[in-house]
Structure 1
Amino acid sequence: MASPKISAVTEYLSVGGNRHPAAADWDSQTGILAFGADNNVALWDPADKYHNGVYAILTGHTDKVNAVKFYTPPSSASSGSHHFLLTGSVDRTIRVWRYHKQQANHSNSNSTSTSTSTSTTRPLFQHVETLQGHESSINCIAVARGSELFVSGAADGTVRMWRLDTGKGLSCNGHENDFLTVQGQLVQTITLKPKFFPLALALRTLCVEKKEPKENGKGNATCAPPMVLAVGGTRNTIQIFVMQGYEGGEFELKASLAGHEAWVTSLAFTDMNGEQSQTSSQSQLQSQSQDIFLASASQDKYIRLWRVHAGDDRVPVRRNANGEAEVILEANVEQTLSNKVHEFEASGSKYSVTFEALLFGHEDWIYTVAWSPDLAHSKLLSVSADNSLVIWEPDPVSGVWYSVSRMGEISVQKGSTTATGSTGGFWIGLWSPCGDTVVSLSRTGSWRMWRFEETSDLWVQDVAVTGHVRSVNGIAWEPTTGGYLLSTGSDQTTRLHARWRHGSNSDAQQQVSWHEFARPQIHGYDLNCIASLGPWRFVSGADEKLLRVFNETKAIANLLENLTGFTGGPKPADMSEAANIPVLGLSNKAAKDDDDDYDDDEQQDEDRDEQSTSPPQSQLHLQSSSALNLPHPPLEDHLSKYTLWPEHEKLYGHGYEISALATSHDGTLIATACKASSLDHAVIRLYDAASSSWREIRPPLTAHSLTITCLRFSADDMFLVSVGRDRQWAVSRRVEEGGEGEGQSGPVFKLLCANPKGHSRMILSASWAPMVEGAGAGKRIFATAGRDKTVKLWVQGQDQDQESFTCKATMTLSSPVTAVDFLPVVVGQGWFFLAVGLDTGRLSIHAFAVDGLGKIGEGWALPASECPSKSVTQLAWRPVGSGDGVMDDKRGYELAVASEDSSVRVLRIDGLSL
């Protein structure tokens, strides 16, 4: 066999952000936003005009990433040659990534292109060092511009100071090469007393008057400006540490700022222009241009501003006739304010810290505060659990701080506050390097982005990235042409992903990018599996005993048709306009076109209470239709409110959580299984999806003794294969129509054969090969994959031996195999291609010849950069048929990948033509 040149291009990468205030940073040099995504670090260019979203993921951490920070040592600040990304994780390590440019594999090509794609050069980062020392989860990292040092805080109650030593590597001939050697050095460990967990750090250099270097008490000459470190966490005070400006200096506790009434969640230093920071009562000051301001946010719902003043003079306060400090306070906030002056000395200069202002306006915990990078305008950004993002400015005359812009949601999640144990709201807020864009991360792991339009003087929301925040457990293509991709996971959501065709109407200039277009299901249980029943319907299974069937709405169908070009054929006549969840309900309700559609008086009585607290049906129609009449993919606000699908049916019968699900290719049958530890529950239940009754076709199929992990129908729906934890596979065959019992209908399946020793350990996945034409017509082939690190190919016997399947080939891989899927067509002169996913996240493609199934073909491992970092949960090739966006051996085939690392990927596999 001639070796093809197989290549993989990531067309789509969807992943949600970690809900931690320090888990993202926006780089001022490259414009890249890096954020923690489970145990990975995702890279996103918010300024990308093609809206490609996440273009790369950095893998290496073994647990959730809590802290992300870009860092440039002063030695390379101008050139950017030594530009780093620092990431801290629950795995107790800090990983150092070095910046470099590489040709990214993200495609911007339109669907009319052949095998070529337009790639762009994007910043990537290479792992160069791992710093160890913390004994518990790392919560935060802080860097200071112009300093060789950075600090980290962890749940072990310590703050550690680090230095990165960088240098050129040497090639074999003794000359310097381009590889940068990086070695991390622990400089100091600060044990916080009284002990508390640091949640927020802020670090910066202090301004000093120019003086001749002099000997300090330790015999060292001052050679650098002193530094100040603010530490906040699981106490209501902020500790101020100062490091003298001599070599070998260490941080020492100088002050403890009191005022907050709860944990401190975020800290941020900034410089401020003296004219902007002066109030009318401060006009007599000669200069405050060297003052530093510290913003602190807390769970007490307040933001406090602190002034770090350099010099012997103190910031004057307004005094009354008796010479006493005059403070005008409201009675309910008087106890939170303090005018105490904290003084300290560093490198021969005197400093003082005083309380400056109290900002209130949020109604729940404040997670993040950040100063605008635009130093010409003093602006502070804050995000809160109350679902709001606020921009604050001081009044140029009075100096009083007030909110100039408020963005986000208002009362969207009823009762969803931290007081009720909710983890809602916005967790992260960041400014763009230019200060004209802000982003926030919401509780769903999705990003929101606002750009400031000078013409309208408004902040306008723009398309951002979304994704799952926990393991993605199931994926399913729309079965006719693969017009969209469904994914479901442990974050209790089902999401619909599709291509957005935008730009010029000309096919040659049209751009294509993938986005989340709907969130059909928001559940209260972790979702385990999903399968499509046609262009307008799907069924899902969760950690509950029943399955739920959902129908698409007209609003979503129109949105997909307008923005993706997917039509799916004639729309059903009974398609509802929209869906909503009643306030006290759990099921998505269809919005009827007219209230007279309720023919059942009893149903009217049952729904009356729910309708009394829900919007009128006509109002809901109008809201959904108008909200989704968009020129771009839905924003997070739309996804969470207007893109639900109404629940059509519930399927009962199982006694435990649903574990496996499959639908026939014609959409008329549903096969399901649940978690089981006995024969009674380890059964396969079939449901007739073609009838209006949705009744179970009895009797259920029995063969297994433990949980069934995977179910798959053959291409012609005549066979059903099941595999499970009991290490066996079973094949059932369709034999007749009509099940047992009165009124039963639908096809009946009978057990054909089973192999109780199919693998030596549990079997996790199975897939049928496409039907073979010509001499091998009628030959049935399926593959199984197991925890024993093998993939086995089973071929049906011929003539008199058609009721048995024999193992014709066995592949041994490096790790347990968790997912397999056959390309649904035979390629070239009779070749099967099988995609294989491992427990480690690695992916590979393997070839088998139709006329030589006993011989294993060549295998191609996909690059690690295109693979998940955790176990692959499911693989699914896009359907190959007629219609828009269909793949073939010249234009490549698309493979969807779901993983436990919370990512959904669509890879274009080129070079399968043999």
Structure 2
Amino acid sequence: MTMSIAPEFISIGGNRNPAAADWDLHGSQLLAFGADNCIALWEPSDDRLRGVTALLNGHTDVVNAVKFFPTNSSDVTVLLSGAADHSLRIWTLRQRDVQTTETKFDLIKTVTEHKSPITRIATLPGSDVFATGASDGVVKIWKLVHDADFTTIDIELIQSIPLTPRYFPLAIALAKLDESALVLAVGGTRSTIQIFVSHDTQFQLSATLTGHEGWIRALDFTKESEDQEGDLLLVSASQDKYVRLWRLHQGEELPAASAALNDPALGVLGKSLSNKAHRFASATSKYSITFEALLLGHEDWIYTASWRHRAGKLQLLSTSEDNSLAIWEADPSSGVWVCITRLGEISGQKGSTSATGSAGGFWIGLWSPDGDSVVSLGRTGSWRRWTYSPAQDMWTQQVAITGHVREVKGLSWSRDGSYLLTTGSDQTTRLFSEWKRDSGSSWHEFSRPQIHGYDLNCVDTVTNMQFISGADEKLLRVFDEPKGVSEMLNRLCKIEAPSADLPDAANIPVLGLSNKAIQAVDENDIPEDADGDDDREALDPASIVRKSTLEFDHPPFEDHLARHLLWPETEKLYGHGYEISALAVSSDGSLVATACRASSIDHAVIRLYDTKEWLEIKPALKAHSLTVTALQFSPDDRFLLSVGRDRQWVVWEKGEDGVYALKHANPKGHTRMILGAAWTPLVQPTFLTAGRDKSVKMWQIEGEGVELKGSVAASAAVTAVACNREAEEGKLQFAFGTEGGELVVGTAEAEGLNKVATLTVGKDVSPAKGINQIVWRSGRKGMGQQMAVASEDSSVRIFNVEVGSSS
């Protein structure tokens, strides 16, 4: 038998660290960003919108810094990454197949010289020197040693610079000062900037720049003109909400004082705008550093600032906690720096809670290689992208990528398999589906039905229009699809819209956790005083949404996902005393079984609710003594299977009266706790259990007993197992995942469950951490199988699984 498994779609959110992303300006056009312990690769300018094309596994802790090394070659790409595991890693990509989605980087070197998490990496085009900073308060200078075509690469430590007085370097920048010297700027958890100049190969402290009143978050050098003549300019951005520009000038003479210093608008800040010149020398020349300009405009901490020569002008991109991204340039006549473009969210929404979607600032801002696009990463882990259109002389937002930023705990396909719901510890539930258009199709997030105040643990669909989720708050919530989402999925994903009467949209009231249904109105129907000018009966602007807001001809942007695409909540289910641990909906959708974390037999009960009236069916099912970890109904709903931390599995049978009662139990099903359970579609009732004892076991109900029919050994504790209910008749097809992220697909004949053929998914495409849930996609008969995988590494992955007959 032949099997092949290939990734179809990967979704993962970016790390909130201003140093954790870089866009390759040479060759590959890839954007690399830290995503939990992985590095995600994305090509923002890809017309096919495939999103994340690969995840690089290797680091054992959060990736803080990512930087492309300038190779000046389109044939080879070198990527440097630094993480909280104290290691610096070097990856290379040889020629890349643009037609397929193959983006295969090889890890070629791992160095652990730093004694603490690495916070920053700085490179210098045209040079083999680069610098790393870590929270041990040390900046290290390295040299990449390689041959002409980078077939051999090594790394050499040139110098370690302990920062005094000790601080964490949050920003590092390198530039060429002249033929004999390099200049290094370092800033961080102090309000000063240190300037080091190299003499031979060693850097020495040459100046300390003062003026900022907060931590330094960003530093970047550039030549004033594109032809690399003229002075060096240094930008520094700080948590004091200001951007400062500094001029490095060659020669004894000081440069002409900047007109910005005499700007009356800055009079209030006059005290801090001293123009003290700092003088220093390289081996061949003398230099001065003077303060050039103060850029005002951001209302909160500034995280990134980077230069770009665009269309003959020098421009600066800055991103801030105030939810905006600004592009600055110098006014040609006065020389004063002004903000010419501001992108992002409207400041009026700043300060609203994460639930109503205030982005919590932009942490990263990057220029595209051609300078005509910019991207930024927000607090929710989602990217935003804008492209400049010269014809309209404006920046327009484009479709970008989104993903969870904490471990993904649960997933569920809709009943017909048309969309996927995911939920996790970042307190969101997300809906992914396929955007179908003439030029092809691609996967995107289309709705964020639930934004919550508690970590979410499990989710399941009741109908194609309804789902239920369980969280750490001890209760379960039921959600119905709103009309706005239904019409969008119909338009963009070709998912049939029901004729049922649905609410238009939903929102979360201030300080609330329950999504309330709201109406969509035409522009003309919004009353004049909707903004609340009239004291008598001001309409709450949050209770309505404009119809035009919900009419998309593309997958929604993050701003809409975080604010307008919630689902109204219709029910709450009470009864459990602790955090919800597992839930399952019956195959016919009429029942929900739920369980919570427990350390006694009284709490380790399974509660059943009917989905018509949402009433609990008493009594609760008692058999387990510790947390029930997984529940599943058999395909015909005759049985309910439960497994738990008490190492036992229990099969409950439905009686004539429709009530489930204990039928079979095995208190020693596994030698360690059981973490996964799944029914097979085989005619003879057969189920699988997966446990921490590194095994998956196959059990068959025969008459009044249950027999162990087969077992598959795994390399680590098995945390999830799932069966494909649409496999060929008489065949068993299943998948299981381990706590190390290993994913295995197995097949067997109904008659030979002791003979299982397995295929382990390649390490380069499997998750970097434990697998929490696997769900096969329904409605795929004759179309090739797919399964979705939720992982602790905060990724959601969809795999294509093809099984051929044995040759």
Bin the TM-score by the shorter chain.
Answer: over 0.9
Q: How does 1:802-813 map to 2 (within 5 A)?
A: 804-813=705-714
Q: Deviations over 1:471-507 (max 9, x none)?
A: 000000001x2010000010000000000012x3xxx
- Aligned to 1:378, what secondary structure does the other structure show? strand
Gaps of 5+ in 1: 105-118, 169-177, 209-224, 276-287, 320-324, 505-509, 595-608, 738-746, 773-778, 881-885
Q: Deviations over 1:490-542 (max 9, x none)?
A: 0000000000012x3xxxxx401000000000001111000001111000011
What is aligned with 2:509?
582
Tell me if 1:7 matches 2:1: no
Q: How does the TM-score come out when normalised to structure 1?
A: 0.83
Amino-acid identity (%): 51
What is aligned with 2:421?
486
| CA distance, structure 2, for counterparts of residue 824 and residue 54 of structure 1 | 29
Indicate how the Cα distance of structure 1 residues 845 and 438 shifts in structure 2: closer, same or farther if over 3 A, else same.
Answer: same
| CA distance, structure 2, for counterparts of residue 375 and residue 351 of structure 1 | 29
What is aligned with 2:208?
256
Q: Deviations over 1:351-374 (max 9, x none)?
A: 111100000111110011111253
Tell me if 1:848 matches 2:748: yes
Please say if residues 517 and 639 of structure 1, whose CA atoms lie closer than 8 Å, have aligned partners that are also in contact: yes
Q: How does 1:447-462 map to 2 (within 5 A)?
A: 447-462=383-398
| CA distance, structure 1, for counterparts of residue 342 and residue 712 of structure 2 | 58
Flag as ranges the 4+ runs of structure 1 deviating above 6 A: none
Q: Deviations over 1:136-166 (max 9, x none)?
A: 1111100011111111111111101111222
Q: How does 1:90-489 map to 2 (within 5 A)?
A: 90-103=84-97, 119-120=99-100, 122-167=102-147, 180-208=151-179, 225-244=180-199, 246=200, 249-273=201-225, 289-317=229-257, 328=264, 330-374=266-310, 376-411=312-347, 413-415=349-351, 424-479=360-415, 481-489=416-424
Q: How does 1:823-838 map to 2 (within 5 A)?
A: 823-827=724-728, 830-838=730-738
| CA distance, structure 2, for counterparts of residue 628 and residue 431 of structure 1 | 30
> Aligned AA for 2:749?
A
Match of 1:495 among 430, 441, 449: 430
What is aligned with 1:614?
540
> Aligned AA for 1:660?
A
What is aligned with 2:63?
65
Match of 2:518 among 591, 604, 610: 591
Tell me if 1:661 matches 2:655: no
- Aligned to 1:468, what secondary structure does the other structure show? coil
Please say if residues 689 and 721 of structure 2, whose CA atoms lie closer than 8 Å, have aligned partners that are also in contact: yes
| CA distance, structure 2, for counterparts of residue 102 and residue 304 of structure 1 | 40
| CA distance, structure 2, for counterparts of residue 308 and residue 642 of structure 1 | 48
What is aligned with 1:36?
34
Q: How big is the shift at 1:102?
A: 4.7
Tell me if 1:571 matches 2:491: no
Indicate how the Cα distance of structure 1 residues 860 and 124 shifts in structure 2: closer, same or farther if over 3 A, else same.
Answer: closer
| CA distance, structure 1, for counterparts of residue 331 and residue 793 of structure 2 | 46
- Aligned to 2:94, what secondary structure does the other structure show? strand
Match of 1:511 among 440, 452, 461: 440
Q: How big is the shift at 1:591?
A: 1.4
- Aligned to 1:687, what secondary structure does the other structure show? strand
- Aligned to 2:175, what secondary structure does the other structure show? strand
| CA distance, structure 2, for counterparts of residue 653 and residue 417 of structure 1 | 29
Q: Deviations over 1:777-830 (max 9, x none)?
A: xx11010111110000011013xx2xx3221111111111111111112426x2
Q: How big is the shift at 1:9?
A: 2.0
Q: How does 1:666-677 map to 2 (within 5 A)?
A: 666-677=588-599
Please say if residues 663 and 713 of structure 1, whose CA atoms lie closer than 8 Å, have aligned partners that are also in contact: yes
Q: How big is the shift at 1:912?
A: 4.4
Please say if residues 317 and 326 of structure 1, whose CA atoms lie closer than 8 Å, have aligned partners that are also in contact: no
Q: How big is the shift at 1:328?
A: 4.5
Please say if residues 226 and 312 of structure 2, whose CA atoms lie closer than 8 Å, have aligned partners that are also in contact: no
| CA distance, structure 1, for counterparts of residue 412 and residue 95 of structure 2 | 35
Q: How big is the shift at 1:423?
A: 8.7
Please say if residues 410 and 424 of structure 2, whose CA atoms lie closer than 8 Å, have aligned partners that are also in contact: yes
| CA distance, structure 2, for counterparts of residue 697 and residue 516 of structure 1 | 36
| CA distance, structure 1, for counterparts of residue 589 and residue 403 of structure 2 | 28
| CA distance, structure 2, for counterparts of residue 375 and residue 593 of structure 1 | 43
| CA distance, structure 2, for counterparts of residue 433 and residue 666 of structure 1 | 53
Q: How big is the shift at 1:332?
A: 2.9
| CA distance, structure 1, for counterparts of residue 273 and residue 519 of structure 2 | 55
> Aligned AA for 2:751?
D
Match of 2:700 among 782, 795, 809: 795
What is aligned with 1:892?
784
> Aligned AA for 1:542?
A
Aligned-residue CA RMSD (Å): 2.1
Match of 1:905 among 777, 797, 807: 797
What is aligned with 1:16?
13
| CA distance, structure 1, for counterparts of residue 604 and residue 203 of structure 2 | 63
Indicate how the Cα distance of structure 1 residues 613 and 308 shifts in structure 2: closer, same or farther if over 3 A, else same.
Answer: farther
Q: How does 1:634-649 map to 2 (within 5 A)?
A: 634-649=556-571
Please say if residues 323 and 350 of structure 2, whose CA atoms lie closer than 8 Å, have aligned partners that are also in contact: no
Q: Deviations over 1:6-41 (max 9, x none)?
A: 112211110010000000000011111000000000
What is aligned with 1:814?
715
The count of residues paired between Structure 1 and Structure 2 equals 787
Q: How big is the shift at 1:626?
A: 1.4
Match of 1:543 among 468, 472, 478: 472
What is aligned with 2:528?
none
Q: How big is the shift at 1:616?
A: 6.7
What is aligned with 1:679?
601
| CA distance, structure 1, for counterparts of residue 125 and residue 214 of structure 2 | 30
| CA distance, structure 1, for counterparts of residue 604 and residue 619 of structure 2 | 13
Please say if residues 19 and 427 of structure 1, whose CA atoms lie closer than 8 Å, have aligned partners that are also in contact: yes
| CA distance, structure 2, for counterparts of residue 258 and residue 713 of structure 1 | 67
Please say if residues 207 and 310 of structure 1, whose CA atoms lie closer than 8 Å, have aligned partners that are also in contact: no
| CA distance, structure 2, for counterparts of residue 676 and residue 327 of structure 1 | 67
Tell me if 1:758 matches 2:669: yes
What is aligned with 1:605?
none
| CA distance, structure 2, for counterparts of residue 274 and residue 7 of structure 1 | 51
What is aligned with 1:858?
757
- Aligned to 1:637, what secondary structure does the other structure show? helix
Q: How big is the shift at 1:654?
A: 0.4
| CA distance, structure 2, for counterparts of residue 356 and residue 793 of structure 1 | 73
Q: Deviations over 1:372-413 (max 9, x none)?
A: 253721110011011001110110111100110111112465
Q: How does the TM-score come out when normalised to structure 2?
A: 0.94
> Aligned AA for 2:721?
V
| CA distance, structure 1, for counterparts of residue 127 and residue 429 of structure 2 | 46
| CA distance, structure 2, for counterparts of residue 713 and residue 542 of structure 1 | 21
Indicate how the Cα distance of structure 1 residues 843 and 377 shifts in structure 2: closer, same or farther if over 3 A, else same.
Answer: same
Please say if residues 272 and 375 of structure 1, whose CA atoms lie closer than 8 Å, have aligned partners that are also in contact: no
- Aligned to 2:548, what secondary structure does the other structure show? helix
Tell me if 1:708 matches 2:628: yes
> Aligned AA for 2:16?
R
Larger mean CA deviation between 557-566 and 841-850 belongs to 841-850
Please say if residues 386 and 417 of structure 1, whose CA atoms lie closer than 8 Å, have aligned partners that are also in contact: no
